[in-house]
Amino acid sequence: MNAKKAVYVGRLNPIHKGHMRTIELMLSWHGMDNSVVLIGSSNAPFSLHNPFTYAEREDWLHLLFPGIRSVGIPDYPGDDIQWLRHMDQILQLGGIVPAAAIYYGGQPEDIQIYESLDRETALVDRYDPDVPEISASKVRTFLAQHRYEELRPLVDERIFNQLVSLFQKEKWPRLI
């Protein structure tokens, strides 16, 4: 097990099996005590792109990964420098030296900003042979189009029913 601190930043809107695979590998390599998840877009207004609140996303994360350390991080549209400054402050408050941590991602664009700062990164192959394409955009599209059987393989069974029910009863009526 690697004692280096590990960070995963994701919107998790909603959390899907690709996010889960990345987090699982991070935890297996660094352990629960050395890992943290920053839930992005914690301040994002409701939209089809952001249908779930920070609290809902955090609840699902903790259901799937009991004991994991997590905190929200707001968006700073068009201001990556301010966003990075805020992220570093959050990490420092948690006892993590930002420049000494390893940043996990499931797609190249997830880690690009950290690589531009010469920070260590780990790109995880988050694709399962049974689910070759997975993204939160695809999950949200399947929810909006009521394509639940196509959605089912993309999200964990422990949250599937709650995810669909919440979207149908509370989210979808606000979008149409």
Looking up residue 40, the CATH number of its domain turns out to be 3.40.50.620
Average pLDDT value over all residues in the chain:
93
Q: Is residue 149 part of a domain?
A: no
pLDDT in the model for residue 173? 73
Q: Is residue 86 part of a domain?
A: yes
Q: Is residue 93 part of a domain?
A: yes
Instruction: Please state whether the peptide bond connecting residue 14 to the residue before it is cis, i.e. omega within 30 degrees of 0.
Output: yes
Q: Is residue 146 part of a domain?
A: no
| Domain interval for residue 117 | 6-127
Q: What is the pLDDT of residues 96-141, one digit of tens each?
A: 999 999 999 998 999 999 999 999 999 998 876 766 678 899 999 9
Q: Is residue 137 part of a domain?
A: no
What angle (nearest 5°) sits at the alpha carbon of residue 46, between those of residues 55 and 83? 70
Q: What is the pLDDT of residues 75-87, one digit of tens each?
A: 999 999 999 999 9
Residue located via tokens 């402050």:
89
Closest residue by Cα to residue 138 from 125, 122, 153: 153
What is the number of domains present in the chain? 1
- Model confidence pTM above 0.85: yes
